[in-house]
Structure 1
Amino acid sequence: MNQEECKLCLKQKKLENSHIIPSFVINWLKKTSLTGHLRNPNDSNRRIQDGQKIKLLCRDCEAIFSTYESQFNRKIFMPYVNNHMDLSGEIVKDGSLKYDTWNLKFIISLQWRIFSLGMENFIRADNDPNPHTELIKKTNEHFRRYLNSETTNTGNNNTYILFLRNINNYNNVKQLDLSPKLNHYLIRSYDASFIYNNSQLFYFSKIGPIAFITSILPNKLVGYPDSRVKLKGAISVIQKWLNEDLNHFIFVKRPKQMDLLRKKTENQKAQIEKAIGQNLHRKNDTMTLHVTYSDFLRSGIDD
C-alpha cells in the first residue's frame, strides 16, 4: 500500500482523493444549473462532473473535515439558499442562522485547503508578487495545528462570513462600473483569492452565495459589524457592509478578473446552446436561468 504524508496530521498513511471545494457546493451548483453540468472556471471549454480533488488527507482526517462540511451544509448553506433567497438570488426572508464550533472549523478548513496548496488559478488576484509569503506560511501552519486539535485558536486573526445576494438588493453599489455577469459571480460561482497590499493581507473565498474573509493583517476587519464568526452564536443573513475597499473588491474588481478567466469562445457558446436545447425540461426550474435573466435585465447584455 502506497503511503504518503497526510498534510493535516503529518502521519504516513494512504491518502484519499480530497475535494478542495466541498462536494455539497458542487452538487448544489449542478442541481440548480441549466444543464446539470459545470464548467471549469479556468478553462471554460471543459465541462466538469465533480469538484477538483487532490491527494491531501488520510481517511481519518478526511472524516473529520466531512463532519464540519455536513454541519455547515445542513445548518448554514442549505437553509440560506432554500429558505432565505429566491431563484434569482434575491432575499425573500430575513433571519439568523445558528452555529456552533463546527462553523469556524469548516471555514478554516476551507481556507487552509485552498491557501496552503498554492493553487495559482485560485489565489492570484494580481500579477504582483505577494509581499507576505512568510506570514502566509506561518498562518497556514497555525491553521493546520488548529484543525488537528494541537491548539484551541486560529491565531491572531478574525474570520467573517458574508451572505451574498442579487445585486438588486444592494442599493449602494448599483451605480458602480459592474461586471455584466455580476449576479452569476455573486451567487453561482466558487472562488478564492488573497487580498493584499504592503500593509494588508486577507484570505477571501466563496462557495456559491456565501463568502468568507479571514483578516490576517490587520487582524480585524473594519466595517463588517455583524459578520464576524465567533465560537458559537447566530449570524444574520442581512448584514451591514461598510468597508468600501473590500466592497469594491467583491463587487467590482474580482468579478471582472473572473470575467477574463471565463471569457467564452465561439466553440463553447455553441456547446452551451446545444446543451441548453437538450435540457429545456429543466430551464424554468433552475437558478442559473433566473440569475442569468436578472443580469440581462440589469445590463441589457444577452449572452
Structure 2
Amino acid sequence: MYKLKKCALCGEETNLELSHIVPKMVIRMLKKTAAGNIRNSENPNIPAQDSEKHYMLCGNCEDLFSEKEKYFANTLFHPYIKKKKIKFDYDSKLFYFLTSLSWRSLYLDLIDFTENHVVGIDALECLISCEKIMKDYLLNNRNNIETIEHHLFFFDEIREIRGNTEMAELRPHVTFHRGITSYTFCFEDDGTYGTITNMMGIVLITLYKKGSREKWEGTEVLNGIGSIEAKDQKIISVVGNEFINILKTAQVASNSISEKQMGKIVENLKNKVDKIKVYPVFRDWQSDRKLNKK
C-alpha cells in the first residue's frame, strides 16, 4: 500500500484518505452477489475484504471524484450489472469519471515504472505526459485530454471463440464477471500504451498511444453527450493479450488455493446447493462449460 506525503492530484500536503483504485461500489457489488468469500490473485488463500486502495488523495479531491462515481454507478454500472439496460446515454460526467479511474492507476504505476525501469524511455515519457494532461483535466485546468481515448468494452456472454481454444479453457465468464483489476500496460513494439480496468465485466481501456493496427468499433466514450451500447462491439488490438493475461493470472491464483481452503469452498457450496442457481456465478459456470464443449 502506497502512503504518499501529499495529495497526488492537487499536491496539497495534508491528511490523505484511503482511496480505492477501482470504486468501492464495485467491490461492494461483488461481495453482495458472491456465493462465498471473494479472493484476490495475490493471496488467494485469504478471503479478501476489500479491493486495492492507497493513501493518495486529500478529502477535497476525493469529493471531487465522488459525484462522478455516483453518476457512473446510477447511469451505467448498476443498470448493466442488474441486466436492466444495454444502451446507455451519457454526458461529460462519464468521461470525467473514466479519466479519474485510469489516472489513479497510471499515477501509481508510474512510480513503479520509474523506480524499477519497467518500460523504455519513449514509453515512459509518453505516460508521464499523459498523466499530466489527465491531471490538469481533472483539476479543471483544461477541457480535454488531447488524443487520449477511453473505450468501454462490455464482456457479455461469449457464444463462440474462434482460433483460440486456450481462452475457452480459462473460464472467461467467471474471471471477468467475478473480477476486479486495474493496471497500465505497454506494447512497445506495437506502440500501444494504455490502462485496463475490469469492473465485473465492464472493461475500461484508456489508450494513451494507439498503434497503427488498432481497430475499435462501438466502444469509445466521447467527451460530452453520447450513447454506448453493450452489443456489436468489435476490437482488433494487442490489448487482447491483456485479456489473456488477466485470465491466466486468475487461473494461477485458483491453482494456488490450498486443500484446506478448497475444502471450505466446496463445503460452502454444498450448503447452498438448493439456491445456488440464484447466484450470478452459476450462469457464468454454465457459460464457461458450454464454451469448453465446443
- Indicate whether the TM-score tops 0.5: yes
2:93 match: 102
Q: Does 1:130 align with 2:122?
A: no
Give the one of 246, 250, 261 matched to 1:254. Answer: 246
**Post-superposition shift, 1:254?**
3.4
Which aligned pairs between 1:256-275 and structure 2 lie closer than 5 A? 256-263=248-255, 264-275=257-268
Q: Does 1:150 align with 2:141?
A: yes
TM-score by length of 2: 0.84
1:237 match: 230
1:111 match: 102
Contact 2:192/2:211 (8 A) holds in 1: no
Residue type matched to 2:281 in 1?
T
**Post-superposition shift, 1:262?**
4.0
Contact 2:150/2:205 (8 A) holds in 1: yes
Distance 1:202 1:295, change over 3 A: same
**Post-superposition shift, 1:72?**
0.4
1:88 match: none
After TM superposition, the runs of 4+ consecutive aligned structure 1 residues lying more than 6 A away are none
Report the more deviating stretch, 193-202 or 149-158: 193-202
What is the distance in 1 between the residues matched to 2:45 and 2:70?
A: 31
Which aligned pairs between 1:35-184 and structure 2 lie closer than 5 A? 35=36, 37-84=37-84, 95-118=86-109, 129-131=118-120, 132-168=123-159, 171=160, 173=162, 176-178=165-167, 179-184=169-174
Contact 1:43/1:262 (8 A) holds in 2: no
Distance 1:54 1:245, change over 3 A: closer
What is the distance in 2 between the residues matched to 1:175 and 1:4?
A: 46
Distance 1:21 1:191, change over 3 A: same
What is the distance in 2 between the residues matched to 1:197 and 1:260?
A: 26
1:186 match: 176
Is the partner of 1:11 in helix, strand or coil?
A: coil
**Post-superposition shift, 1:111?**
0.8
**Post-superposition shift, 1:74?**
0.6
**Post-superposition shift, 1:4?**
4.1
Residue type matched to 1:266 in 2?
E
Residue type matched to 2:166 in 1?
D
1:26 match: 27
Is the partner of 1:165 in helix, strand or coil?
A: coil
**Post-superposition shift, 1:240?**
2.6
Residue type matched to 2:13 in 1?
Q
What is the distance in 2 between the residues matched to 1:297 and 1:11?
A: 53
Give the one of 167, 170, 187 matched to 1:196. Answer: 187
Give the one of 219, 224, 244 matched to 1:227. Answer: 219
What is the distance in 1 between the residues matched to 2:285 and 2:52?
A: 25
Distance 1:246 1:7, change over 3 A: closer
Is the partner of 1:46 in helix, strand or coil?
A: coil
Question: How many pairs does the alignment contain?
Answer: 281
What is the distance in 1 between the residues matched to 2:237 and 2:144?
A: 29
**Post-superposition shift, 1:75?**
0.4
**Post-superposition shift, 1:71?**
0.5
Distance 1:119 1:259, change over 3 A: farther
* RMSD (CA atoms): 2.8
What is the distance in 2 between the residues matched to 1:120 and 1:291?
A: 36
What is the distance in 2 between the residues matched to 1:280 and 1:167?
A: 26
Is the partner of 1:118 in helix, strand or coil?
A: helix
Contact 1:34/1:282 (8 A) holds in 2: no
What is the distance in 2 between the residues matched to 1:61 and 1:281?
A: 46
Question: Which structure 2 segments of 5+ residues have no match?
Answer: none
Distance 1:195 1:271, change over 3 A: farther
Q: Deviations over 1:258-299 (max 9, x none)?
A: 322443332321221233345557523211222123323433
Percent identity, aligned pairs only? Answer: 22
Is the partner of 1:47 in helix, strand or coil?
A: coil
What is the distance in 1 between the residues matched to 2:15 and 2:239?
A: 41
Distance 1:100 1:220, change over 3 A: farther
Is the partner of 1:18 in helix, strand or coil?
A: strand
1:294 match: 287
Is the partner of 1:271 in helix, strand or coil?
A: helix
